[in-house]
Structure formats: C-alpha cells, structure tokens
Amino acid sequence: MNRRTLLTSVAAATAVASLPRIALAQAPVKVGYIYVGPKNDGGWSQHHAEAVAKAKAHFGDKVEIVEQETVPEGADAERVMTQMALGGAQLIFATSFGYMEPTLNVAGKFPNVKFEHATGYKTAPNMSAYNARFYEGRAVCGTIAGRMTKSNKIGYIASFPIPEVIQGINSTYIHAKKVNPAVEIKVVWAFTWFDPAKEADATQALIDQGCDVVLAHTDSTAPLATLKKAGAYGFGQAGDMIEYAPTPRLSSVIDEWAPYYIERIQALLDGTWASQNVWYGIKEGMVGIGAISDAVPAEVKAEAEALRDSIAAGTYKPFTGPLNKQDGSAWLADGEVAGDDVLSGLSFYVEGIDAEIPK
C-alpha cells in the first residue's frame, strides 16, 4: 500500500467513524475506555469500570461501550485508542495519567473523535482533561488519622512523586497536625499504582517503623489486609472498600466518576461536547467520603464530617495559610489560599514533614 492510498484509508475510516451520528440517529454511539489495570483491581481501574457500567445502564441501547483493561502507558495505549477510533468510537476516555501523550497523539490523528484524559494537564480542541481533588478527601482522612494514632506516627504509601501524590501527603500531614501537633508522617515510595505484593510490603515497612494509621495512594486492598493483621488502621482508597470496615478501614476517599461520564456522554449525544479542563472535588461530587466507621469516636467523627461539609460548601480550602515550605521558607501567608496553578504542579513538602521526595 503506498502512502496516498494509506492516507485515504485513514481519512475514510475517520469519516466513517464520525458518520453514524448524522446518518443513523438510532444506531448506538460507541464510547471507548482504556484502563491501566485489570477491571477487578479493587481500586482505581475497577472504579472507573464500575462508573462506566453505571453510565452504560443510564444510557441503555443509545450507547455501546468498548473497553480494554491492562493497557501499558505508551505505544500500546496509542495503538488501542487508534483501534477504537478506527472501529468507530466517537468518544474515548483514557483513564490514567500516563496516557496523556498517547492520547494527545491519537487525538491529533482523529480530529473528529473526542477524547477525555484523566488526571493530566494537556488538552487539545478534541481532548479534555478531567481530574479530582483527591487531596480534599485526604484532609478528612488526615484529621481522623491524627486523632486515632496512638504512636503519633502516620504512614503514607506513595505511588509516584507526581503533584497529585505530593498534594495528598501534604494535605494528610497538615490536617493530622492541626488536631495532633505531635504527629509525624512516614512515606514509603512503591513506584507502582497496582502491585498487591509490593503494597503489602510497603504497609508492613510502615508498621515496622511504628505507624499505626496508614494511608495508601495505590490501588489494591492489600494495604488494608496487611493493616488488619497488624491491628492498625487505614482507609479505603479509590473505592469504599467497605468490606474492611469497621476496622481497619475507618473511612475512605471514593472516586465518583459516574456523574462525569454520564454528563460527558450526554454532551456528545446532544452535540454540545466541547474541550475543557476540569478539576472537581467534594463539592461537585467527584470525590466522595465513605461512611466513617464506628471504630472512630463520635466527637472525632463529627469533627471530620464538619470538615467535609465545609469543603463541600466551599468555605474551607485544604491548602490555606499560614504554611511554610519544608525548608522553612514562606509559602502561604495567613489566610492565603494556594492557587490551582501552584497546586497542579506541586513539587515540595510543607514544613514539618521529615522525608524527601525521591530524586
């Protein structure tokens, strides 16, 4: 096949991909999803997949979903998305940060197909970015952790040193410290999003260092299983993980993607889809706080719920001064709120955290 016929075929396939909506209003609209982990990982990918199932139930026959699990972040993701676009998908959701460049590349090749990329920062005329303010949930968990720890040591299983995770560590520490000035935070870097064995090892390492409350920024339930054996506390992450309540799971930070998926697919059906870059939190319902278990004393529960409600109402922002950077230099003055431009690229710890961001 020579270059010209190839380009024609791509163009034809693209045209075909965008045709059904105009020509056959009754035919289902094809929407694609790619996941970084297995659909039953118990965490991140599973909660995207469950939200997709909800969206599917909402739209019924109007929408056809095509999904691919366990897609590595790189050339493979590009191929899978291209395949979906060629197959007629009109809207494709790439549900992991590492898909950002591949999504951008595929979006460039298929100007008539819409793309949505989770947790990144790059957009294009046919590519949106959506992200959740997970750190708002960490603020609530940090408050509970600060009250519940007896050893005054909180552990944090970090995945990769990206802004989202640094926001989480800072937010946890700031709010634990507010209710318990003696608290320390220990961080272990797992360098993975999903690896139950590694996550369990990281949890054990934190327990061995004396931590009795551990937060995970990885996706499996392995940390909770390890905490249960050790009699320590933890939180559900990405999903509610209610099966570990009342202990070790005290509460959870839940990713609520379904409303967003329904909203965006509806926009596609209505022909009103436009590229955007959104960062939703507790207020918009993209971050949910799981029921606080009975292992938490009533006054602590009330305190945590009040914090959650003030974040939901918009009256409190988790990154509000006075806050210094780790090296002691000033960051936010009293009452000053960190801007999204700074938060979205956050690369330093706040004062008091005795740890280093891996270099």
Question: Is 53 among the residues that bind another protein (CB under 8 A)?
Answer: no
CB of residue 100 vs another protein: minimum separation in angstroms? 9
Q: Is 321 helix (H, G, I), strand (E, B) or coil?
A: coil
Considering beta carbons, is residue 119 or 252 the nearer one to another protein?
Answer: 119
Lookup: tokens for 52: 């997709």
Question: Is 344 among the residues that bind another protein (CB under 8 A)?
Answer: yes
- Give the C-alpha separation, 321 to 324, whole Å: 8
Question: Is 358 among the residues that bind another protein (CB under 8 A)?
Answer: yes
CB of residue 121 vs another protein: minimum separation in angstroms? 6
Question: Is 1 among the residues that bind another protein (CB under 8 A)?
Answer: yes
Q: What are phi and psi of 28, to 5 degrees?
A: -65, 145
Q: Which stretch binds another protein (CB under 8 A): 202-210, 286-294, 330-338, 344-352?
A: 344-352
Considering beta carbons, is residue 30 or 186 the nearer one to another protein?
Answer: 30
E strands in the chain: 29-34, 63-68, 91-94, 114-118, 127-132, 153-158, 184-189, 213-216, 233-238, 249-255, 277-280, 287-290, 323-324, 330-332
Q: Is 287 helix (H, G, I), strand (E, B) or coil?
A: strand
Question: Is 72 among the residues that bind another protein (CB under 8 A)?
Answer: yes
Residue from 43, 98, 137, 318 touching another protein (CB under 8 A): that is 98
Question: Is 162 among the residues that bind another protein (CB under 8 A)?
Answer: yes
Lookup: tokens for 19: 């045709």
Q: What are phi and psi of 331, to 5 degrees?
A: -120, -65
Question: Is 25 among the residues that bind another protein (CB under 8 A)?
Answer: no
CA angle 240, 139, 185 (to 5 degrees): 100
- The footprint of another protein on this chain (CB under 8 A) covers a number of residues equal to 44
| Binding site residues, another protein, CB under 8 A | 1, 3, 6-7, 9-10, 13, 32, 38-39, 66-70, 72-76, 78-80, 82-84, 86-87, 97-98, 101, 121, 160-163, 166, 191, 344-347, 358-359
